[in-house]
Structure 1
C-alpha cells in the first residue's frame, strides 16, 4: 500500500512493507538506541519500512528524542500498554508490523527471522526467549520459573496455541489480520488477547528464537508481577467458558447426582467409613452449583456470540438456538413441580403425626432432593430470562 507518512513525518510515496512499532511511556534512557537499531536493520536489509513510536503520555522528553532520531511519533491518550499498541497498529503503514518494548531488552537489529516467517504466510510470529536465551537479570525469577511457564501452559491447554513463550513482547504480525480481530483490552493482557483471538480465528501462529537482555533503564519496569499476572489469568479464563464453567460444572453435576442417588436408599458404608445424610446434603449442593455453572456457560456463549468476542462452533450454536426461553421455562417448571410435589409429600408425612417428631432418616433425603429440584427449576427460569434479555437488541 502507499504510505503518506515517512521519516520525520515527511510525505513519502513508497511501499511500506514493515512497521517497527514501539510503545513508549517515559523511555528517554533507551529509546534512541532502540530506534537506531531498528533503522539500521531496515537499511542493512533493504526493507522498505518505518519506525513508529506510540507515545502514551511521556513527560521525560521521549517524544522529542524519537522525532530527533527520525521516527514517526503518534500520541495515544488512553493509558495502558494495550492501548498504546492498539493506537500504533491503527496508524501503522506497513504490511507487516513487528512490535517490541523500547527498553533495549530486545534486539531490533535481528528481526529478519520474523520478517521471513511473515513473508512465508504466518499471521503472527512470536519470539521465544526461552529458546533464544535470557541474559542474567533480564527476567525476574517469578516470571521466568512460575508466571510465564504457567500462563503459557494454560494458554496451550485452553486454546491449543503451540507456542512456548506466551508473553514475549517481541512479535510480528500481518497488520490487516490483527486489525480484523478488533482487539479491545488496554492493559498488559493485550498480549494474551492477541494470541487467543488469533487462535480462535484459525490464524497461523509461528515462533522463532529471540534473545532477552537486561533492560537499560534505571527505573523499575511498568510491569507489575502479581497484578498483571492476575489480569492475564482472568483473561484466559474469561475467553474459555469450557474451562471456566463447563468442565467444573459437569464434574460437580455428575459427582452430585451419583452421590445423591447412591445415598437416597440409606446409609452407604465403604469399609469402615459411613456416608449418611450429611454427605447427601453436600451432593445436593454439588448438583445445584453444577447446574449454575452450566447455566453461566450458556449465558457466556450467548453473550460472546452476540458480541462477536469468540467464534462459536456449529454444535454450540445449534444447542443455544434450541434452548429457547420457552423450552428452558418448561424444563424448569417441570423440575419445580416435581420438587413441590416431594415437599408436599414430606409435609403430609409430618401432618400424619400431628406435626410432631419424625423419623428423619428417609424423610430428610426426600425433602432435600425436592428443595434442590425446586431451586434448580427457579434457577433455570431466571437463566432463561437473562438469556432473553441479552438477545433483546436483535430479537
Structure 2
C-alpha cells in the first residue's frame, strides 16, 4: 500500500468477527486488482476477535470514546489520509469489491459524493426486512427529499464515497443512526454533486443491530429538528388563524352560550394546539441552531435575542395575570349570584389565557437556557 493512499476505507465495527475478514478481503480484492492505493480504518467497539482479525489485514484500529454509528465515523474521519473516503458496514452486506465503481464518478470529476443505492440495485432475499424495504426506507427517503428538495433514492444506504475536501465542508455532529440522514442533508445544503450507482445488498450473518422503530424515529426526529418550519411552525400558524376565525365568527353570528358553544370551544382548542405547534417549532429550531445542526438565518436571529425572549416572558406573565383575574371575577359572580351562572365562555377564555401564558413563559425560559449553554455567534 502507498504511503499516500488514494482511498481510505472506514468501517465501523461492533463484534463482527464472523464477517470482518470477508469484508476486508473484498476491500483488498477490489483495490489491488484495480491498482488503487488504499488504507483501512476500523472504528472498533468490539469485545470479540474483530480487532485481531482486522489487524491481520493491516487495518488501522481506532476506538471511539462513545458507541454509535455516527460517533464511529466522526472519530475516524480525522485519521483518513486518502483523497477519497469510502464508508461501509462490517456485516458483509455490502460488497467492497465495488470500490472501483463507487469512486469512478469522483475520479472522473462528475461527482463529489457517490451513494451505493440498494433500491436501484438488487436486494437479495433475506437481506432486508419487508418493513424496511417497502415502508421504512422509501418513506424516510421521501420525507428527506421533500424537506430538502433532494432526489436521493436510498438515503439510508451505508455504502458511500466522498472526496475528502468535500467531506470537510459538511458540518456533521450526530452520533447515532441519524448520521446517515445528516450526511445527505448536509450534502444537499452545501450543494454537493451526488451520484448514485446500483449495488447488491446481501444478507448479513448473525443478528441485526438495527432497531426498526427506534432508529426510524431518530431519522424523523432529526429532520423535524433541522427543519421544523413546514412541519410545526406553518401548521401552527394555520391552526391559530382557523381557530380565531371560528371563535370570532361564532361570537358575531350566534349566541355563544347556546348553539355555538361547542364550535367556540373547538376554535379555542385549535388556537391552543396551534400555539403549541408554533412554539415547539421555535424550540426545535433553537436547538438546531445552538447545536450547529442548521443555520440561524436572518428572521430567526431576531427571535434568538435576549430582549425578544424577555418580551415573550413578559407577555406570558400578562396572559397569566389576565386569566387569573378573569377566573377570580367568575368566582366572585358565582358567590354573589343566587341563580344560574352563565359564564362558560368567560371560563374557557380565562383558562386559555393561563395556558397561553404558561406556554410563552416556558418557551422563553427553555430557549434562554439553550442560549446560555451554547451561544451561537451572530444569533445572540
1:357 alignment partner in structure 2: 339
In the alignment, the residues of structure 1 paired with residue 324 and residue 65 of structure 2 have an alpha-carbon distance, to the nearest angstrom, of 58
CA shift at 1:386, angstroms? 3.6
1:42 alignment partner in structure 2: 31
CA shift at 1:121, angstroms? 6.0
- 2:359 counterpart of 1:372: no
| Cα pair distance change 1:144/1:369, threshold 3 Å | same
CA shift at 1:19, angstroms? 0.8
In the alignment, the residues of structure 2 paired with residue 329 and residue 29 of structure 1 have an alpha-carbon distance, to the nearest angstrom, of 58
2:288 alignment partner in structure 1: 304
CA shift at 1:111, angstroms? 2.4
Q: Residue 184 of structure 2 aligns to a residue in which SS? A: helix
Deviations 1:219-238 (A, max 9, x none): 21222223322332323323
CA shift at 1:244, angstroms? 4.6
Q: Which moved more, 1:246-255 or 1:94-103?
A: 246-255
RMSD: 3.1
Q: Residue 142 of structure 1 aligns to a residue in which SS? A: helix
Conserved 8 A contact 1:262-1:268? no
- 2:84 counterpart of 1:102: no
In the alignment, the residues of structure 2 paired with residue 336 and residue 102 of structure 1 have an alpha-carbon distance, to the nearest angstrom, of 57
Q: Give the number of aligned pairs.
A: 373
Q: Which moved more, 1:222-231 or 1:156-165?
A: 222-231
**1:314-333 mapped onto 2 (5 Å cutoff):** 314-318=298-302, 320-321=304-305, 324-329=308-313, 331-332=315-316
Deviations 1:108-158 (A, max 9, x none): 112234313333263432221111221222211111111111111111122
1:255 alignment partner in structure 2: 242
Q: Residue 42 of structure 2 aligns to a residue in which SS? A: strand
2:127 alignment partner in structure 1: 138
1:206 alignment partner in structure 2: 195
2:215 to 225, 228, 232: 228
2:9 alignment partner in structure 1: 20
Q: Which moved more, 1:240-249 or 1:98-107?
A: 240-249
2:72 to 81, 84, 90: 84
> Gapped runs of 5+ residues in structure 2?
none
In the alignment, the residues of structure 2 paired with residue 391 and residue 28 of structure 1 have an alpha-carbon distance, to the nearest angstrom, of 45
Deviations 1:42-85 (A, max 9, x none): 223322221222222241x2222222223333333532322222
CA shift at 1:239, angstroms? 2.5
When normalised by structure 2's length, the TM-score is 0.85
| Cα pair distance change 1:382/1:148, threshold 3 Å | closer
1:3 alignment partner in structure 2: none
CA shift at 1:92, angstroms? 1.7
CA shift at 1:280, angstroms? 1.9
When normalised by structure 1's length, the TM-score is 0.82
Q: Residue 86 of structure 2 aligns to a residue in which SS? A: strand
Conserved 8 A contact 2:225-2:288? no
- 2:228 counterpart of 1:241: yes
Deviations 1:269-293 (A, max 9, x none): 9xxxx96313322321321232232
| Cα pair distance change 1:322/1:19, threshold 3 Å | same
| Cα pair distance change 1:220/1:343, threshold 3 Å | closer
